Amino acid sequence: MDLVHCVPRLPKAGETLRALSAAKHIGGKGANQAVAAARMGAAAEFFGAVGMDAHGDDALRGFEDNCVDASSVRRIEDVQTGTASIWVGKDGENAIVISSGANAHVTPSYVDDCLDKLAQADVLLLQFEVPHATIKHVLQVLPPGRPKIVLDPAPVAPLDGLNLSRLYCITPNEEELAQLSGARGPEEGARALQERGIGHVICTLGSQGAYALTPEGNSLRASAYKVDAKDTTASGDAFAAALAVACGMNGTDLGRALQTACAAGALAATRVGAWPSLPTRKEVERLLQAAGKE
């Protein structure tokens, strides 16, 4: 559950600011990406855990309202649903603090219980808001080749011990890429991750669009879209979901997938909140057409 406060600017250490507004929205990176994928036209299923609390009730109703299959979601007693405290400045930039709550109970044994369903997917989106051991287990036990696995490495955490060769692609932002690779610049950072066995490395660059390095060593860039940014909270999730949906469609080239993902991320920044900001396929196609990239 995202607890969002819009502020004149992000506060400094020790400073108290008066919020311009406050709101509550269902969120979480995995949940955002599941809803974003459904709005992009995919048959989306969410795997994870919520508490036996009102936030958990809201999340499950929200999945149903947004055509996301949540039948495998586990409810955990005596644990709260995960929360995020989000500050959003007037310029659209944000700062986020998360409390894992029930997300910490997405365990390797839970993965084993859901393995048959996971293996039937075309694409599996993973995030680091669940335990590292669970991500490690998923990459070990899923059969080779299917599903394609897209890892959004946020909140950023070390890649040590992960079967990185099982990833189809990884989608860090520029700061995450620098931390994961120890290198400066998207191209140098992407090549450093490829040396560790990852196939496609795709780096989001905010107002500069996105950069991709293919397994063949080819570099691709996608330009950004000029929009009136109000809240970047779920922009990365909209990008990752649109990219994953494109990866699951036969005949979609990576350049086209990047442009579509950039358009989805840009549109998400024009609205406040996580789920309320996620665009539909029609909205993305209209932006692509208006920009002459359809």
Largest CA distance in the chain: 53
pLDDT at 294: 59
**Three-class SS of residue 37?**
helix
**Three-class SS of residue 22?**
strand
- Domains belonging to the chain, first-starting first, are 29-46+103-290 (3.40.1190.20)
Structure token digits, residue 172 = 């860090």
Residues 252-267: tens digit of each pLDDT: 788 899 999 999 999 9
pLDDT at 293: 67
Q: How many residues does the chain have?
A: 294
Alpha-carbon 214 to chain mean position:
20
pLDDT at 218: 92
pTM of the model: 0.90
Structure token digits, residue 225 = 């879209």
pLDDT in tens, the chain (294 residues): 989 899 999 999 999 999 999 988 888 899 999 999 999 999 999 999 999 999 999 999 999 999 999 999 999 999 999 998 989 898 878 888 889 999 999 999 999 999 999 999 999 999 999 999 999 999 999 999 889 999 999 989 999 999 999 999 999 999 999 999 999 899 999 999 999 999 999 999 988 899 999 999 999 999 888 888 887 878 999 999 999 999 888 667 888 999 999 999 999 999 887 888 999 999 999 999 888 765
pLDDT at 91: 84
**Three-class SS of residue 120?**
coil
pLDDT at 231: 79
Contacts of 115 by beta carbon, 8 Å cutoff, 6+ apart: 141, 142
- Of 80, 74, 164, the residue nearest 126 (C-alpha): 164
| Active site amino acids | 237
